[in-house]
A and B are shown apart, each in its own frame.
Chain A
Amino acid sequence: MTTNAIEIHNLRKTFGRQTVIDGLSLTVERGEVFALLGPNGAGKTTTINVLTTLTSADSGTASVVGFNVRSQAVEVQRRISLTGQAAAVDDALTATENVVMFARLAGLGRGESHRRAAELIEQFGLTDAASRLVRAFSGGMRRRLDLALSFVVTPEVLFLDEPTTGLDTRSRRELWDLIRSLAASGTTVFLTTQYLEEADQLADRIAVLHNGRVAALGTAAELKARVGGDTVELHDENGELLREIPTDGTVSDLRRALDLLDEDGADGVVTLRRPSLDDVFLALTSPNAHAVKETA
C-alpha cells in the first residue's frame, strides 16, 4: 500500500476574522523532506498544528500516513513526532530524565527506556551534558535534546517547526547534518522555515506559503528557474553594485547585456549571478507577485 505521508485538501482555518489558512492543498510523499517556507505569520505553525492534531481546521481534510487527523487522531499520534517552535523540554529534569520520561510515555518499559535514552543521548551529542539539568543548557543543546525526544520511537513523519531559529551558524549546520541523517533513514520530514538557505539545503521539495495558500511548489532548482535566468551584475572596485541586467541565460542574451553595458561606457567588474531562493521568495511574496508568474 502506498499511502502518502501527508495529504491536505482545501484546508481552511480562521482565528476570529483573520483567515490564516485559505484553501491549502498539499501532498507529501513518503521519505520526502518537505519544507514549508513563509514569512512570519504565514500560517506555518498553524498548518503544523493541524497536521499534528493540536488544532482542528474549519474545513477541508488532512491526513497523515493515511489517517485522518481529526477522526483518527490517536492513530496519527502514534506515528508522528513534533519538535515545535518553542522548545518542549522539561527544564527541571536532566537530559537523560527527559528522554526516559518520553520513552516511557511512548510505551517502553523502564529498562528499555534507559537503554534508549543512553543511545539517543550519544547519538545527539549530549553525552557530556546527560546528567545536567536542562535549565542550564544552551539553545543549541536544548534543540538537540528536543529533537532527540522526537526519536524515542522512530516516527513515520517528523514535524519540525523552525528547527534552527535562534541558533548560531555552527549549531545550525550541525542540526542540518542531523536532520539529513534522520531523513536518510527513511523518516518523512515536514519542516517549516523562514530561512531560504535551510530549505535549499535540506528539502527535496519546497512550498512557498503566502496568504494561507501555496504560492509556489517545486524543487529548489525549479523555484529558482521560475524567476528567470542569470543576472549580469556590474560592480565598482569596492564591490558596490552599479548595474544589474536580467538575462534569460542564453549566449545571445548575455551578449546583449554586455553590449548594453558597453554602450553606457560602464567601467567595473562584471559578475554573473544565479538567482537565489531569496529572489524567488521576494518575488513570490511581494504585493505584486503576479508580475513574476508572467515572466516565468
Chain B
Amino acid sequence: MHITRERLIVYGGVLFFALLPPVASFFGEHYLISLFTRAMIYALAAVSLDLLLGYGKMISLGHAAFVGIGAYVVGIMFFHAADDSLLFGFIGGSENALVVWPAAVLVSAMGALVIGALSLRTSGMHFIMITLAFAQMLFYFAVGLETYGGDDGLPMWNRNRLAGLDLADKLHFYYVCFFLMSVFIFCCTRLVRSRFGLVLRGASTNTRRIRALGVHDVSYKLVCFVIAGAGAGLAGALLANQSEFVSPGLLHWGLSGELMVMVLLGGLGTLFGPVLGAVLFLLLEEFLAIYTEHWMVYFGPVLIIVVLTTKRGIYGLLVGGGGNRGG
C-alpha cells in the first residue's frame, strides 16, 4: 500500500492517542488523561462542525446548541433516574449509556432537523445570524429550566453506566471516547467521498449548476446539518459525563465560536485537522492560562496568522499541498 504523508500523520495520531494513557501514567502525569479525554470530545464536536463549514459551506455560529442538547438529555435523564420521577409524566430516567447516549444523539439530530430546516431558508450572513439566534434561544431556555438547575446547571453524581466498563475509571472513559471519536471520523471520511458527499460538495460550490443538474441542494444541506447535529449531540453526551455536570454554558455561542476556532486552526475541510485544532486549543488554554488569564490575547494573533497564511490550517501545513477535501 502506498504510504502518503497524510496516512502517516493519521496513523501517527491514532498511535499517539492509543498510547497516551500508559505513557502519561508511567510519568505520573495522570491529569493528561483527562485533558486529552476532553480534547477528544471537543474534537468530535469540531469534526462535526467541519462537515458543516468545510464540506457544506454552511457557516453556523450555533453549533453549541446541539452539544448542549446532547448534554442536557444525559443530565435530565440522570436527574429523573436519581429521584425516580418521570419526564413529561411518562418517560422514566436512565443512567444506562446505551439508552441515554443514543437518545442524546437522536434528540440533537431532531433539533438540528428543525433548526436546519428553518435556517436553510436563508443563506450567507442571514444563515449565520439565524443559527446564532436559535442557539441563544436555547441558551436562555436552559437558563430558565428551574427544575434542572437553571443558571446554576445540573450536577450529576456519577457517570452513566456502560455494561462491562466502569466509566468512572479515567482509562475506561478515555478509551470509550477514543473509540467513539475514531468511529465518527472514519464514518465522516467515508461520507464526504460517498455519493451524498459528492453531491453535497457540489451543492456548496455552485448552486446554479447543481440545480441545473437536477439536484434539490437544500435537502442535501439539511441532511448534512442533521448529521453534524447528531455528532455534536454525542460530544455533548460525553462532555456531560466527563464533567459530571451540565450547564447552560454548553449552549452558549462562546462554545460555538471555540469549536469554529478549532476547525479553522486545525484545517477547514480536512476532518482530521479539527482534531489537531481541538488538542492545540485545549493545550494552549491549559498552559497559557497558567501564565495569564488573558491567554486569548496571545492566542488570537496565532490564530490569525494560521488562518491567513495556510490554506488548510495546521493539518494542511503538515500534509503539504493543502490537505484533503475528500476527493
A binds B: no
Q: Which residues of A contact B (CB under 8 A)?
A: none
Q: Which residues of B contact A (CB under 8 A)?
A: none
